[in-house]
Each structure stands twice: as C-alpha cells, then as structure tokens.
Amino acid sequence: MSCTIDDPSEGLETGSCCASRAKASGEQCRQGNVSHILLDNGLTWTGLVRCCASRKNIDDIPDDVLLDIFDFYRISLMYPEIVYSVWEWHVLAHVCRKWRDVVFASADRLGLRLHCTPITPARKTLDIWPPLPIVVDNPPCLHSHPEADDDNLIAALEQRDRVCMITMPRLTHCQLERFDAALQEPFPPLTHLYLGSNDEVAPVLPVTFMGGSAPCLQCLELTNISFPTLPNLVLSPNDLTSIELCDIPSTGYISPDAMVAFLSPLIRLRHLIIECKSPSPPDPTSRRVTPPTRALLPALVYFRFKGTSEYLEDMVVQIDTPLLSILDVVLFNQLTFSIPRLSRFIHRTETLKSLSQVELSFSAHHVLIKLSLHVALSVSLCVPCSPSDWQLSSIRQLCGQTLPLLSNVERLEIYDDTIDTPKWQDNIDHAQWLEVLQLFTSVRELHVSETM
C-alpha cells in the first residue's frame, strides 16, 4: 500500500479505524490484543510485547512506548538499500486519534514523508496533511493519462521547499518539456535525485536545471540522461555520498579533467559509478604527458567504471583513493589495451595491495579477471567479447600490465561459465595459455573447471 494522500480527519476517534489494513489492526487494538499486532509484523521485542500485553486498553500504553513500537514497526518494513521507499506510517495514523498524535509529534524521528505519484491529486490534497517532506515518484508501473498525470507531478514539484526526493526512471523528452518550468529553481531540501530514460535519444538536462544548485543532495543517479553541464552544478561537499552516472550518452560526454574537477571537492563521496553507453573516439590532445597533482577522494570505497581504457587512464592518473575496497572496471573491447596508469593507480592504493586470489572467468559474451581477498575487497576487469582467442588475448594483455598485483596471488581459479561447450577452445594456441599461466609466479593452488 502506498502512502495515499486522503483526509486525515476521517476515522480518527479513539478505537475507530479506516483503511483496509488499519481496520484489522484498530479492532485488535481496541480489544487490547496489542501483542498480536506486534508479532504479526515480525517484531520480537519481548519487553515491549509484555508491556503492551499487560495493558487492558490501548490508551494505557505510554506515548514513549508507543513511539518505540512505531519506530520498530518502521524499521521492520524498510530495506536500507531502497533509499526512495516510503513506509506506511499513514496506517498507524488512521488507527485512532492517540496514535495519530504520537505519529505527527515525532515526524522527524519516524521519517514521515508524503508520497506523490502521477495518480496523486496533489493540488487538492497536499494542504490536508501537515507540511511534511515530499517524495515525488513516477514509477514505471503507473500508466493512465500522461498529461493529467504530469500535472499532478508538476503540482508536487512546485513545492520546492518540501521536496526531498525525486525519482523518475522513465523520463521522456515530452515530460521534460512539461516539467521544465518546475525544474528551473533550486530544491533546497532535496537529498535524493534519480532520473532515467528509455528513449533511444537521451533527454538533455539544460544548464538551468534546478537553478544550477542542489545544496543538500546526498545521492545522484542518472541513467541514459544527458547532462553535459553536470560539473557546473553547485553541490555540498559535506553531503553528497553517492553518484551513479549510467548509460551516459555521447551528448552527455564529460572530459576526464572536468569529471575529476567535479569530484575533487566531494570529501564524503563513498560510492561512484561512471558508465558510458558507447565508446567515444579518443582525443589524442587530452592525453597527459606529465601526471598532475592528484585529487584526493578520501571516503571513496566503491568505484565502477565502464568505458574506454583511454578515458579511465586519463582519470585515474589524477586521483587518489586510499580507502577504495572495490574497483569494478568494464572496458570496451579493442585489439590492444594499454593501462599502465590504471596499474599504478591500483598499486598505490594500500587497501588493494594484499589481493591473494584471482579468478579468470570465460562466458559467452565477456571475459572477467577478478582479484580479491574477500567479498568486500576486490578488483575486477571485464571485457565484453564473444568466445574466441580475443578473450584469452585480453586476459594476457591485462594481466601482463598488472604484474605488481599478481606477485601476491596464491590461488588461481579458471572457469568457463558458458552454457554450451565452447567451440573456440580447440582453436586456441596452447602457447597463449602458457603465457598467461607464467604470469602467476606465486600461485600455490590452481583450480580449473571441468568444462575448460
């Protein structure tokens, strides 16, 4: 059940109930069977259950105990990784007036949000509730009347001083044009922004997007959205912790220098994804001869990149990431790879120096090299290519340029993840395999799958 915005004045007398789910809970509360409600929601806080079970009437439960129950109820329903979710606090507010008063008195602690979707009549109903933060959500599962639906979203977006989250995973060119006026001013309390598109030609965000400022933004996610002026967006270096730029179209190209300049002030950035939709032709004039002074990203622990080796080389030569624990790289296929700067970047990252296990994995559509110590500490290099000698050539080239890392490897695993028996194995020169295996001079354990 989503958080629909209806009239909170209905059904709020003590013991009376409204909404389908709240009706059953309210009846149990009125009869004093509170422990059943707790257990029904998966809660096992024995002290609270006993406290509530000993009361004969719902009104006998102290407000602070009720608040603890509500908080526990909220935590049991929420998944930390779903940052855009809104929990069903309105169910509790509709049980009785006392519960409603407790819920609204602790709006910050309970994280109360108003969930506005395309079917929410925001212009008519936003004023009914207290001025709570607003989540503007356009889920892909809702389809009815596009222009009317967009008007509901625009009405919510116009509440700029209250909008804390925006998620629009299927934004179209037409929608962006209709939303243009509502998205030209800053959103001071906005903490999470997710925009995506399935259009073949990616929508382009203008330079005036959000007035060029998102002062409280914590998480930014763009998928198949062109935003070439992103580096000009004013952000708070103390708030932003996650950036995901996926399926970056060619119209949204940002040079490595501009990307590093954009990232360098973000001292609390922990999660970074940069994925290009297609390879861009290399610019020889952008290659640096002498490494510049490197920017420090002191909090970064996860970095995923998909693109050309030239772009990655020009980027990692300019940054240091002392706490990096997971590096996930997908390189577009090419005849030859040159990654000396990536190798040096990995080698100067202290957390990645102790990787002792390597997995070489062949599949129908890609080849993967994964160096790891455990699940939360790894370096992965993946090249999309079909089963052929190109896969083995890619492994030989990439491993050959990461020799300092391989000196600590004691366990080597080689897998074939293709469903059918590979047809290319017999065409491989065994000398190529020997060249690969000779790179792992410290290996003590070698595991090879039967299909190899």
Question: What is the distance between the alpha carbons of residues 68 and 139, in angstroms, rounded to a whole number?
Answer: 31
Q: What's the gap between Cα 280 and its chain centre?
A: 25
Q: List the structure tokens of 378.
A: 């790894």
Instruction: Provide the pLDDT for residue 286.
Output: 55
Contacts of 307 (CB under 8 A, 6+ apart): 274, 275, 276, 279, 280, 330, 331, 332
pTM: 0.82
Closest to 218 (Cα-Cα) out of 196, 195, 235: 235
Q: Where are the domains of the chain?
A: 1-84+93-99, 113-278+296-300, 330-452
List the helix and strand counts (H, then E) for the chain: 16, 18
User: Letter for the amino acid at 443?
Assistant: V
**330-452: CATH, from 3.20.10.10, 3.30.420.40, 3.40.50.300, 1.10.357.10:** 3.30.420.40
Instruction: Provide the pLDDT for residue 40.
Output: 41
Q: What's the gap between Cα 136 and its chain centre?
A: 17
Question: What is the distance between the alpha carbons of residues 208 and 379, in angstroms, rounded to a whole number?
Answer: 38
Q: Concatenated DSSP letters for 298-355?
A: TT--EEEEEE-HHHHHHHHTTEE-TT--EEEEEE---S----HHHHHHHHT-GGGTT-
Instruction: Provide the pLDDT for residue 68.
Output: 87
Please give the angle made by the CA atoms of 434, 437 and 441, to the nearest 5 degrees. 130
Question: What is the distance between the alpha carbons of residues 199 and 208, in angstroms, rounded to a whole number?
Answer: 22
Contacts of 183 (CB under 8 A, 6+ apart): 157, 209, 210
Instruction: Provide the pLDDT for residue 28.
Output: 41
The mean pLDDT values, 10 residues at a time, for the chain of 452 residues are 40 32 39 39 43 60 86 64 65 87 90 90 86 90 66 93 94 90 93 94 93 93 96 89 96 94 96 92 57 87 96 95 97 89 92 90 90 91 83 88 82 81 60 86 88 70
User: Letter for the amino acid at 430?
Assistant: H
